[in-house]
Structure formats: C-alpha cells, structure tokens
Structure 1
Amino acid sequence: MPTLRSSRVTTVLAAASLAVCAVARPLAAQAAPFGGKTAGHERLDGFLPLHHDARTGKVLLELPGDSTRALLLTTLATGLGSNPVGLDRGMSGENYVVRFDRSGEKVLAVLENWQYRSSDTANAAHQRSVAEAFPPSIVAALPLVGTEGGRLLVDATDFFVRDWMDVPRTLERAGQGSYAVARDRSGINRALTRNFPRNTEVDINLTFASGGRPGPIVERITPDGRAFTLREHLSLVALPDGAYRPREWDPRVGYFGIRFHDFAQPIQRPLQQAWIGRHRLLRGPDGRIANPIVYYVDPGIPEPVKTATMQGVKWWEEAFDKAGLTGGFRVEWLPAGADPMDARYNVVQWENRNERGWSVGGSLGDPRTGEILKAMARMDSHRARTDYNLYAGLMGAEAAAADTAFVLSRVRQVSAHEVGHTLGLGHNYIASTYERGSVMDYPAPRVRLTPAGEIDISQAYDVGPGEYDVWAIRWGYGIFPAASEKDSLRAIVREGLQKGFLYLSDGDARPEFASDPRVNLWDDAATPEEFWRHQTGVRRVAMARFGERVVRPGDPLALLQERFAPVYFMHRFALNSLAKTIGGMEYASAMRGDGQQATRAVAADRQRRALALLVGGLRPRELAIPDTVRALLGPNASAVTPDVELFRSRTRPTFDALGAARTLAQMTIDATLQRERAARLVQQHAFDPRQLSLAEAIDSIAAGTRWPTGAASTTTASAEQAMRFVAQRALLDRLIALAADSDAAPEVRAMAELKLGELGAAAGRAARGLPNGGRIEARAHYRSLATDAEQWLTSREAPKPSPALVAPPGDPFGQP
C-alpha cells in the first residue's frame, strides 16, 4: 500500500551515493573562522557545513550567501509501533524547496509555494503575479551569528529541533490524548547527524509529553505513556540540475505524481497540470544506462523472509530489462553503518508494530518536477504470520515446508508491490481481470478445488512482474529524444490498450459505492462470478475440515478462533466484488480517439445472476458454523490473540455462532443494498425497464431469506430457522437504515419505506398466526420485526435494534 503522498525514488545523488562522510573536526586545531564564533564547536564539512556545540546542544549552519536554496526532505526515523496510530519507523513526510534569505540580523527560512506557478518563463511580470497571489511559508527566523567572505553563520537549532511530522495532531486524530514537544528533553542526535558533498543530514531526538491523560494505545506501548521519544530526520539536499525532463501524467497508466496550477496554460487547457513521479534515468554515449537506480534492503529483516524480500525486489530488475532498460534497476544489501534515513539511499525497511498492519511504499522528491529523490518501502513484520493463519486454516498446521513456501511466495509479491509504489506506480485493481497482469494489484491467493474436491494452493501467488508492469515501466521510464517523446509515449499507450492493459485504482475500488465489478481488492479471477464460485467452494471444504489440525501439537486450542476467522469470512472480498455488479457500471479512463468506451451498464441478466449468488450466500447452510467447529471454539482466545483478530460475542465467554452469522448476513445485505448502489438500480430501471429494479432486488432477498407471506407455521426450534431469522433481521435493519438516511436518493427512501410496510405487515401476520402452543422464539422474532417497521412508518423514529457485531479485520493484512 502506498503512502498518501506520491510514491517516488531518486538517482540524483547516485554519484555520491557511497561517498564517505566528511570527517568532523574540532575547530581548536584550526584558525577559528567567523571571528571565533565557532570556537569549541565540532565542524561537519559537506553540502551546508554544520558546527555542533556538544556542551549547549546548539547547531550552527553555514550558508554560502545571502540567499540559499535547497530541497528539504522530512522523515520519521523511529516509530511509535502502532498501526492504528500510524507513526511508523521510516515514514516519509513532506518535501519542500526551502530558501534561506537574509533579513537584517536574521535569516528567514522560507518554504516556497510550488502548488501555483507560471510556466511562462519569458513573462517575468506574469510569474510575479502568480507568486504574489499565493503565499509562501516563513517557518523560522534564524539568528545571524556571524559573516565571513560572503558566507553566513546562523543558529539553526530551533529550525532543526521542531516537530516536522506533526506528531501531536496525528495522536489527537487517533484519540491518543494531547501531546507537545518537551524542549528540555529534545535535541540534536549527533551520532546520525552527518554531512556529504550534496546532502546534509540532521537527526533530532524529540520527546513528546502529555498535557493530560495519555491515550490507551500510547500507554500500552510505551514504558510511561506521559512521555515518549521519537527521532525525526531532515535532509537538506542540493537542488537537482535542470536536465531532468518531467513527464505528463496519463490517466490510462498508473503513476503517482505531483499536481499544480499553471496559470500560463492556454484557455483550452486545464489550469491543473500533473507530472508523474519517477527516478531520473539516463543513457550514456554507449547506449547503456548511465545511472542505474539502486535499492538497498535492510539486513535487519529475519531469515528466511530477508532472502524472499530481496528476491521480490529483484523482480524490478527483470521488469526494467524486459522494458528495454537493461541494467536500469539494481538491488543490494544496505551497507554496514549506513543510515536508512540518508537521502542517498533508496531503502526497503522492516516495520515492527504492536499489531499487524500495512506495508507501505513511500518516497520523497522534488516538488517542482516530480523527480523522485529517496525511496522508502516499509515491510510489515506481521504479514507473514497473517498469511500463515490463512494457510493453516485451509491446509492444517503440520506441513512446515509447504506453509513456509506459501508465506514466502507472498513475501516476494508484497516486496515487489511496495517497491513498485516507490518507483511511482499506483495500485492497479483491475489487473486481475487479465490474468495476474500486475504486482500492483492486491492478489488473493489462488486457491482452487481439484476435481477430487481437494484444496489446491500450488499456484497461490505469481512469480515475477506482470505484463502490465513491464509496459508501465516502458512508458514511465523509457528514454526518448525530446522531439519524439510524446509520439513514443502515445504509441506505447496504444499498444497497451490493444493488449487489454487497463488501469483503475483506489478511488474506483475502495468506496462502498464503487460500481465497476472488475475493480477489486484481493480478487483472483477474470469475473466476480468466477471468483465467488472458487472462494465459496473452497470455504465449504475448509469449514467442513476445520479442527485441531489447524494448530500445531502443543499450541493452545484458543488459536482456533484466529485461524477460523479468515476461513469463515474467506469469500468476503468475492462478496464485495459481486455486489458491485448490482446496479453496476463498467468504465474506463477513456480519452478522445483511443477507442475505449467510457461507460457501460452491467447487463440485466448478469445483474440478476449475481443477485441470485448473493442471496444464495444467505442460506442457512452458508451462514451456519458446523457443530464440530463450535465445540472447539472455547473461551480465553484473547489470551493468545489480539482482540481485534477475534469474532465479537454477545454470549461471552462462549463463541457467538448466531452473532457471527448475523455479521456475515449483514455484510451481504448491506453491500447489495448500499445507498448509491440502490440509487443506481432506480436510475437504470427508469431508463431501461428490462434492468433489475430496487424493488426486485429487495423482493429477491426477502424470498431468499424465506420471509413469511402468511401465518408462520414453525412450531419447533431449529438451527436452520435461527439462521433464517438472522438474515431476516439483517434485511429489515438495512431497509430501516435506507429509509432513515437523509443522504439517500428520495426514490430509494420511498421504496425502502414501501417494502418496510409490506415486510412489517407480513411479519405481524406471522406473529399473530402462531398458535399459543407454537414456538415462542418465532413469535418474539416476527413481533420484533413488525414493531420496528411500524415504529418508523408511524413516527419516523428509527428504532435502535442491536447492530451486527463487527467482523475481524477485512483486509488480510490491514485493520478494520
């Protein structure tokens, strides 16, 4: 998963990438410059010389003139260790162009505003008009300590020792209390403050102290939640030269990048322009790549994951070679003594957290051009364990070699995926429709049933880059003469479209209202229907075989709950993709003349088949948990598994089988009758009466859950009937939610109310029709449904039924 800012990397500093740190020298051995103002300081020569006073902790910065410009890159060197909070080791911050301007007896640190600009370099007046319309940010006034030969010496201590990552606001958003920097416990970390010919690296220890009660996560993770210390890191980097040529973003190829307003654009063009983020790559006179992109893998990753990580990152060596950029990408181990925060290193780091979380591909770059300067891929240490849980739930826990192979194949894939982000590539969630087309998709493991009914994981994860990845690297990193570059890029796009290389990303897949059934996270088939059949078939077999074999001998049986969750909810991603078929619309990032159809409504017969599959998933046998499994799911699972990974329960300490079934039923019905999805059903049917209507969808779910049409006849309790009650309750609650939703389309609310009236009346008749000697549970159930429906219809007051329990985390490697 990428960081929220653009994912990018650099080779600008490649010539100095292994340069030895300049020797620090006490000035006592030299003639003290600046009139002796640096006497007793330790001098660190390099791009912008530093003078450190170990006694006071002050850092003086030497500037070459009255106005000095550089890139300022910010990173979080150490983490809080909590995925929900999100302050991770190696997290990339912002990138700026900073200008140090003398103003009397101080020097102002100015962050230039490159979000608004004029590309008309011939019209200085127009450039001035833009510059004066949008303000820069002056973030510090550095006292001028001395001058010598045109050079300035400033006290930069306060500029460096500040919270550049906005830690307190992150903690506040996560509900972790109020914190502020404690200056008396903060200062320069000399050991990792270094200087090199083109980059100055400053490391800072920042202690954050609570102004009130510490947040529960901080209190749990830290020795004393009232204060904790993080390291932030600043890199001052020489501005890259003007030889880099930005590349315009194309919505049909999945790259991150920078966006800005260019007020010099002609009126026929949009003000907002976009350039992709990418490394600089050059050919030498001999035609070979002159500055290969080099990545460094953290040797602190434990084996065998470390070797698998290296192997996965190397997939990009293959991708660049196949893209005609032979030798353009290389991966090595991080040298001993190197600081991963150093701007000269593109790093793949190990991310330890208190709980499982995302792996992230982030980077820092030049905000003027989109050129990537430093890559930072962070690999979550829990991922292998989470993948193992799925393996054990499906296959059992006895085969050590097979489970390790399964997990490491996933490690390779995710390592390549995150490094892809740092190369500038975004998620491509439609690539699974053209046979594992890209490592930038989120792949579910390929799990199938053999003709004999056995679970087959032999092709769980793919090996190597996909065809789309090679094509995207050709487009993004291909080196062309300036005169023919645009034509070459258009030809590459045309070739990709002819091969069926489509690109749709997070905004197309993640929202609850997403409409294109081809665009999904964690899928593995050409169509949602095919994926559903594979997943539900494997799920049935795995549930039937689930038992003690999924934990190793001597391990607590309480682990069974953690292993059962991914099995019971195994088809949840197939469910999400199938639900997008309902009221669905396929679309493309079409451009005039490229032959793509902009939109296409999903055919009516396909929508009805998808609805039938979803309704089939509400059958009692699909919701129920086998007795053999329930008997094994004992109390105290939280003693060995974090609560978030477990099923919730209203029957504590016992396992809540009805609660789990209700969670799944609600998940299914809420996805099928999602608010915007329901509105699309209304609209599609209005313009084409052959299409599936909202009324038909609701009626189909009611029929599939055996909603009573007259007096209920059930007189004896049964597990099957309990499952039907669970699904019926889920349907009624969803209709109430739609009717009460002021953001829903009025036509949706009207239909929800109509169906509430019909189903509520039917439930009332069923309750009244049961004889006194009949099943009391059925009378209670149907009376409750009827009462809740009536409450809304008569008073417009939404009842407050018990909600479905929260499911364990959906994304296999994320958080809820």
Structure 2
Amino acid sequence: MRKIFILLLLALPIIVIGQRKKDKDQPVPPSTNSSIESKVNGLKKYPGYIEFYYDEGEDKIWLLIDKLNNEFLYIESLTAGVGSNDIGLDRNQLGRERVVRFERRGSKVLMIEPNTFYRAISNNALERKAVRESFAESVLWGFTIAAEDNGKVLVDATDFFLQDVHDVIGTLRSTQQGNYSLDKSRSAFYPERIRNFPLNAEFEVTLTFTGQPSGSYIRSVAPTPGSVTIREHFSFVQLPDNNYKPRKFDPRAGYFTTSYYDYATPISEPIEKRFINRHRLEKKDPSATLSEAVEPIIYYMDPGAPEPIRSALIDGAKWWNQAFEAAGYKDAFRVELLPEDADPMDVRYNVINWVHRSTRGWSYGASVTDPRTGEIIKGHVTLGSLRVRQDFLIAEGLLAPYEEGKPVNKAMEEMALARLRQLAAHEIGHTLGLAHAYTSSTENLASVMDYPHPATSIVNGKIDLSNAYDAKIGAFDKVSITYGYQDFAEGIDEDKALDAIIQNSLKAGLTFLSDQDARPLGGAHPYAHLWDNGADATDELNHVLQVRSIALKNFGERNIKPQTPMATLEEVLVPIYFFHRYQVESVVKVIGGINYRYALRGDGQPVADLLPPLQQTKALDALLKTVEPISLMLPENLLKSIPPRPIGYQRHRELTNGKTGLTFDPLALAETAADMTYSLMLHPARANRLVEHHARDINQPSLESVLDKMIARSFKLTPQPGYEGAVLMSIDGALFSNLAKLASSKDASLSTRAITSLKLDQLKAWLKQKGPLTANEEWKAFYSYTASLIEKLQSNPEEFRADYPLDAPPGMPIGTLDMDFCGN
C-alpha cells in the first residue's frame, strides 16, 4: 500500500505539469473581476461614440460599454456586393435600422430592440409600462462580460460582428442560387473600414459563404461560385436629440410615412399616428421669405462614377435646390464630390452611389430614418451603371444613326445623359422622403417622382429626341418640398398653413397618386401610370405606335455600328418592337376604370367616378390596333438581316424567345406582343369591374361587348395567306389562351367566368361552321384545332392547360420593383 502511495506522489507532478501545458494552449476564461486596462493593454484603441479595441493578432473586437440602458441606432448594410441585379445584393446596400439599447443582466449584456410600433405617449409611467409589457421586444445578442471598472464593462463582440446580419444566406437561398453557410475560417474584420467618431462607430467584416451553387446568377458573377465573399457593415449611431418636430402625414402631399400606435390616445381620436419622413431643416430666419438654412442638406457624389456621367448626375441632383428655394430656402440643398477619405456608409454623409452589376436593373433611393419620429438621418442613393446603356440602345433603335461616311449622331448620348439627370433627381427625391407621383405625366410633367418614358416627336417624318426627358424640377415637387420642409414663423397655425399648401396645389390642377394606383395588373386609374406620357393615355398610344412604325420601317444595318455582327441587330430591335408596351399598360386601365384621388372629406377631389363610355371605347379601339397583323409584322428585308448568333455571342435574356431553334422567330415575337395586350385587357379584376359597372350603369361597356369586339378583330377577320396569315394565327392563339385563363380563373367572379365561357362556346360554334367552308388548309387546320381546344376546356376545365405565349424580354426598368417602392 505504501509503495502505491509513493508511486502516486511521484506521478502527481507529471500530471499537474501536463495539465498546465494543456491550459497554456487554450484560452483562459475571462474573469469579470479583472480590470479593463489589463485586458486591452497593447490593443489598438478606437476612442469615440462607443469606445472599442481591435486585437490584430487574434482578429477580435472588444467593446467598452459605458452607455447601458441608453437607446441608440443600430444599422447594418452591405458594402461589397455580389454584382447581380437578379440576386439583389448590391455594393453599398442599406439594410435595416433599429433602435437598440445595451442592458446588463448578471454576467451578460443584452442588446435589446424595443418595440417602437406600439407606444404610450404619456407622463404616466405605469401606462407606458402596460404597453411595453403587452408587446414583445427582441433581444438581438447576448455578450459575456470579460472585465468591468467603474460602471463600464468590456465585452468580446467578435462573434456579433462576424455574423450574416444582412442575410446573404437567405437571399441566395430565396433566389435559388444554392444553400450556403458562413465559413468563419475564411471570414475576418476589415480594418480599413473600422472607424470611430464622436456620434457614430463603424465596423466592417469580410464574410465568406460556402456551399453548392445551384443557380446561374451566382455562377455568372462569382469567380468560384462555391465560395462567395462579400463585406457587411455595422453602424452604432447616437439618436437625434428631441428638438426635431415631426410633421403630420397627409396622403395628398406625396410623402412616405412613419407610423405607430399610441395607446395613450383619447378614444375620440385615431390611435395610429402618422408622420412624414424628412430631413431636419430649419431657417436661420423663419420669418423671412427667403432664408439660409441653419444647416444645409448636402449630398455627396460617388467619385467612382466616370465623366460625363458624373457631371450629369450632379446636375440632376442639384435640381432639388429649385424646390427648396420655392419653399423659402437659400442654397439649402447642395451636391459635392465625396471626399477621398470619407466612408460612403458613414451616417454623416448623404451619398449618391454608382453601382455596377452584371445586368441592368433598378436604381434606388433609400434612407436611414429614426423609427421614433420619421426624421431622415442619412440619404442613400444607389444608381445602377448599366441603365444609361439601355437608354443609348433605345436611341440607336429609334434613330438608325450609323451612316457610312457620316459622324455619329450626338443625340443618343445627349438623350442618355438627360435620362441620368432625371434619374439622379428622382432617386434623391425618395431620400428626401418623397414617394412616387404617377399622375405627373398627365399634368405637364409636374414631378420628377414619376417614371418617364422617352418623349418622342415626329418632325418632317423623322423621329426627334431633343426633348426626350425633362430638364428641371416639377411644379408638384415644389409643393411637396414646401409641405415637408417649410419652416413656419412663430404664431403661424401650422395645420392651417399645411392645408393651404395642398388646397392651392389642387386649385392649380396638381394632384398625387402613387404606386398601388399606377400598376397595370388590376389597376383602374385613367391618369396614374408607369412610363407613360401625355395628358390623354389613348392619344399618346396612337402617337407611340406612329413612332414605332417609323422606327421599324427604317430598321436595318444602320442601327448597329460598322464591323458589328449582323445578329446584334436583335438587341437593338427588342426595345423598339416593344416600344409601345408601357403605353398599352396605361391605356388598358381606362377600360373599366375609375377616376379617384386620395380625397379628404370636403376637399372637392373626385372620390370614385365611373369613366365616360366614349373614353373607354376610344381606349379599346386603340388597344386593338396593337394586335393587328400590320402592327406586329416585320419587313421582309429586316427578317433577312438577322442571322443566328455567331460564336462568342451567346443568346441572353435581353433577346427575343422563339420556337425555331437558332433562328430568329418573328411569329413567336408577334404572339408575345399580342399576349402583352390581351393579358392586360382580360385581367380578372378588370373583367369583374366591367361586369359591375355595367350592372350599375347600362351605358357603361359590358364584358360581353368588349369580348365580342376582341374576337371580331381577331378570329373573325378575313383569313389571309402567307406571313400575314401566320401572324394572325399567332394573335388568335394569344387571345384564346387568355380567354381560357379568364374562364377558369379563381379570381374571376361567377358572372365573369360565365360570360367568358359563353363567348368561348359561341366561338367554338363559329369555328366549326367556318372551318369546313375555308379553302386554305392551314386555316382549316387552325379553326379545327382551336375548336378542339375549347371542347377540352369545357369537358375538363380543372385539367386544361393552354399553351401560353413565350415571355417577352425584360421591360422594366425601361432605362435601368419599386420594384422597390422607391426604385426607378
């Protein structure tokens, strides 16, 4: 026994030494009793809003938190993106902004996001507590305290920052690009963009996501698609002081809104409070008609934009000073070049970003906004670089400018730059708080917040683009800025003054309608449209068809540069062949339309007026012109000029879809164009409204009469041989597909389905009668086949699937979802 004990004693030092060696290789758990100074000794210090330290050797960030229980703004963003418009992860893309606070709980510090949407604006603490405890808060992170001194705590924030807060993983998954995960072994801090200032602290990380790519978009932009590396940015920002006064929201003024529920509101008043989003701007002398601002609004241009693009963007951005002058400010809105040492994600800078993608896409106007009040803290514009090339392409198609021995027409570049000026003004408008204003085009271009289609003129039989885009701020823009930014002198009744601004605007014939009213699918307003021109949508469609006809008649090799493959004519042809698509979307809303505004009781605006029958008949006749064979046929010499694509020039989505293999397919093109018109005309909501309006007023056009006219102007036209006849068959096929879809749509009312089914049954009888009498074998086959399709639909509507026309190449953004609510 004694021998065993001695052996154990001899072995003990070995065990202890071995254990100490093992401990030396592993990090020692931090003690909350150790001093902060000893923990951060030798680390790079970043003094500022929230002091922090960077351990370069371990690649760690330590936060020194001395602002426990104080709310601040936490913003996440994406600084180095993926480069695909379809994926939607762009350079310098803003993410969410959230009010948060650090709260100590034992050995932890929790980052808590309070619920700002539900409040009690009350002096009664118990009333506020009741609301706070009724709705959930969100704990965004839990930090372990490593050291503390005199009320200050030190936490390791490395894991907090090395997370995918922008949800790149979710975006790649939702766009079907693959299942990725964050690889921390390939992720690290990005010291060049880690900074600290008196009112904001900025952090940035490089993150690498690994996985099995499954989509073509990520393969097209990532050098190794299984390893996608981006950068994400974090900002901690001091919230604005309490001196900002929120301004009430009026749906007629053209602003985005911040809203919340105030449970301390008297029961006689609305519980939901709405305020406009706007920058803080004050006059040095509120009583002066024109005064300098206490602090002007300054926007900074990304120096990465090349000339002459940069100058065009700056020029367009400066238009807003016209609106602020109308609101009584002198030189209150400025545009400057971003300093070389400035970080575009720094909350102190309103920035106009120039962003590259592999394909064209939307531009955006976003903002960092105080969720409590609606005060805009940072304006952040994202402009896609390829959109200018789309406008240039449209100009090439309209002008056919490349003549042997003659200099290139400068009108194309001038048109493209004019569009960029308007684009810069539009997106900055969003960052000033303004929403889309889609009645502008019918009111003499009253706002840059509309979507502009290039305005074309016909001069001596030739297309003229000299006034393609407006060159100034609009009249309604001045109204909106005055409503949002006017600084009223002491003693002025602000509510009455604001209402007077709107009433004077209405008297001047200026109105406002936004996104939901302009969309063509189901839309019903005759004057609020996307990408349209003119006071009368139908008149403008007839004009656009004339312009399109001239352009197609002149189309040929002069539309591309010398020594360019002839096959590339197709790129230029697409936007011209579909040049009328947006005006069609405008005109179709007249059928079964309603004239209304965001009317308030007693303001005299239209509330819900049915449109005159003659206005709808005129629109229907114009729409049916777009599906006539003569409108959709291409000249024979043009068809002979477009060969299959040569090696090195692959087909892509900006080209037409076809069913003839490698060769250009003019019949599929005609079918697609016809489907554009018919699918809009036969949208279930539109058909349902025709039924309803006719029931209320027998003078309103009925669904039966509209369908009869559509069928008479397609199926019942005299059958023609050759190319014209083949185009007409394509048109008829597109109409049948949409009639079949409407007849079986769950969104169509019972009456709509019944009427459409009856018209299909009548068409079947006509086809069966007409077919045997037709000498042309192709037409006989077509009539017989279509009749059999109707029978299949009738016998088994649940299983019937029509062969729908091929999709058109991308249209919107025409020169670039909304669809961002704030895109263009």
Same structural fold, with TM-score higher than 0.5 when normalized by the shorter chain: yes
Give the distance between the partners of 1:409 and 1:368, measured in 2 at CA.
38
Matches of 2:202 and 2:423, distance apart in 1: 30
> CA shift at 1:702, angstroms?
1.0
Pair 1:750 & 2:754 matched: yes
The answer to which structure, 1 or 2, has the higher relative contact order (CA under 8 A, 6+ apart) is 1
Partner of 1:198: 199
Alignment correspondent of 1:561: 570
C-alpha displacement at 1:187, in angstroms? 2.5
Q: Which is worse superposed, 592-601 or 349-358?
A: 592-601
Question: Is residue 592–residue 689 contact of structure 2 (8 Å, CA) maintained in 1?
Answer: yes
Mark the runs of 5 or more structure 2 residues left unpaired by the alignment: 1-33, 403-407, 820-824
One-letter identity of the residue aligned with 1:462: D
Q: 1:309 aligns with which of 299, 306, 313?
A: 313
Residue 598 of structure 1 pairs with residue 635 of structure 2: no
Is 2:35–2:148's contact at 8 Å kept on the other side of the alignment? no
Residue in 2 aligned with 1:140?
A: 141
Aligned ranges 1:534-613 → 2 under 5 Å: 534-613=543-622
- The code of the aligned residue for 2:347 comes to A
Task: Name the residue aligned to 1:12.
Answer: none
Partner of 1:233: helix, strand, or coil? strand
Match 1:432 to one of 438, 441, 457: 441
The equivalent of 2:674 in structure 1 is 665
Partner of 1:226: 226
Q: Per-residue displacement from partner, 1:379-417 (whole Å, max 9, x unpaired)?
A: 111011100110000002333422111111111010111
Report the alpha carbon displacement of residue 267 of structure 1 after superposing the two structures with TM.
2.7
Describe the SS at the equivalent of 1:37: helix
Q: 2:338 aligns with which of 334, 337, 356?
A: 334
1:643 is paired with a residue whose SS is: coil
Change (3 A) 1:639 1:624: farther
Structure 2 counterpart of 1:293, which letter?
A: I
> For residue 51 of structure 1, what is the aligned residue in structure 2?
53
Q: Distance in 2 between matches of 1:598 and 1:688?
A: 17
Aligned to 2:12: none
Task: State which drifts further: 228-237 or 284-293.
Answer: 284-293
Q: Cα distance 1:308–1:66, how it changes in 2: closer, same or farther (>3 A)?
A: closer
In structure 2, C-alpha distance between the alignment counterparts of 1:139 and 1:778, rounded to whole Å: 67
CA shift for structure 1 position 220: 2.1
Asked if structure 2 preserves the Cα contact closer than 8 Å seen for 1:214 and 1:226, the reply is no
Alpha-carbon deviation of 1:467? 0.7
2:465 is matched with which residue? 457
Q: Does 1:703 align with 2:705?
A: no
Equivalent in the alignment of 2:726? 722
The aligned residue for residue 452 of structure 2 is: 443
Task: Report matched runs for 1:116-515 at 5 Å.
Answer: 116-119=118-121, 121-210=122-211, 212-284=212-284, 287-398=291-402, 399-450=408-459, 452-481=460-489, 484-515=493-524
Note if contact 2:387-2:816 (Cα within 8 Å) is conserved in structure 1.
Answer: no
Deviates most, 627-636 or 80-89? 627-636
CA distance in 2, matches of 1:619, 1:435: 31
Match of 1:618 in 2: 627
Query: Paired residue for 2:537, among 508, 512, 528?
Result: 528
CA 1:630–1:798 in structure 2 vs 1: closer, same or farther (change >3 Å)?
A: farther
Alpha carbons of structure 1 residues 640 and 519: separation in structure 2 relative to 1, 3 Å: farther
Q: Deviation digits for residues 567-609 of structure 1, max 9, x if unmatched?
A: 1111111111111111111110000121112111111111111
Please tell me the root mean square deviation across aligned C-alpha atoms, in Å.
1.8
**AA partner of residue 518 (structure 1):** Y
Q: What percent identity do the matched residue pairs reach? A: 38
Contact 1:219-1:225 within 8 A present in 2 as well = yes
Q: Which runs of 4+ in 1 moved over 6 A?
A: none
Partner-residue secondary structure (3-state), 1:178:
strand
8 Å contact 1:192–1:202 — kept in the other structure?
yes
Which of these residues, 39, 42, 50, is aligned with residue 40 of structure 1? Answer: 42
1:616–1:704 Cα contact (<8 Å) kept: no
1:740 to 744, 749, 765: 744
**TM-score if structure 1 supplies the norm length?**
0.92
Q: Distance in 2 between matches of 1:793 and 1:285?
A: 75
8 A contact 1:740–1:798 mirrored in 2: no
Distance 1:65 1:342 in 2: 21
Cα separation, 1, equivalents of 2:742 and 2:269: 42
Match in the other structure for 1:25:
none
The count of corresponding residues between Structure 1 and Structure 2 is 774
CA distance in 2, matches of 1:262, 1:555: 65
Conserved in 2, the CA contact under 8 Å of 1:256 and 1:276?
Answer: yes
8 Å CA contact 2:213–2:219 kept in 1: the answer is: no
Which is further off, 430-439 or 794-803?
794-803
TM-score (norm 2): 0.92
Displacement of 1:239: 1.6
Instruction: Point out where structure 1 has 5 or more consecutive residues left out of the alignment.
Output: 1-31
What letter corresponds to residue 189 of structure 1 in structure 2? Y
Give secondary structure in 1 for the equivalent of 2:178: coil
Distance 1:155 1:797, change over 3 A: closer
Change (3 A) 1:641 1:128: farther
Question: Match of 2:261, SS?
Answer: strand
Structure 1 pair 525–190 and aligned structure 2 pair: CA distance change class (3 A): same
- Structure 2: which amino acid aligns with 1:581? V
Q: What is the identity, as a one-letter code, of the residue corresponding to 2:139?
A: I
Conserved 8 A contact 1:791-1:797: no
Partner Cα separation in structure 2 for residue 298 and residue 808 of structure 1? 31
Following superposition, the deviation at residue 814 of structure 1 comes to: 5.2
AA in 2 matched with 1:471:
V
Residue 632, structure 1, aligned to residue 677, structure 2: no
Q: Which moved more, 1:355-364 or 1:58-67?
A: 58-67
CA distance in 2, matches of 1:176, 1:592: 50
Note if contact 1:215-1:225 (Cα within 8 Å) is conserved in structure 2: no
Kept in 1: contact 2:248–2:274 (CA 8 A): yes
How far apart in 1 are the matches of 2:646 and 2:445? 37
1:455 corresponds to which letter in structure 2? Answer: I
Question: 1:185, 1:35 → 2: CA distance?
Answer: 31
Listed one character per residue, the Cα deviations across residues 692-720 of structure 1 (whole Å, up to 9, x for unaligned) are 00000000011111427xxx8x5x73222
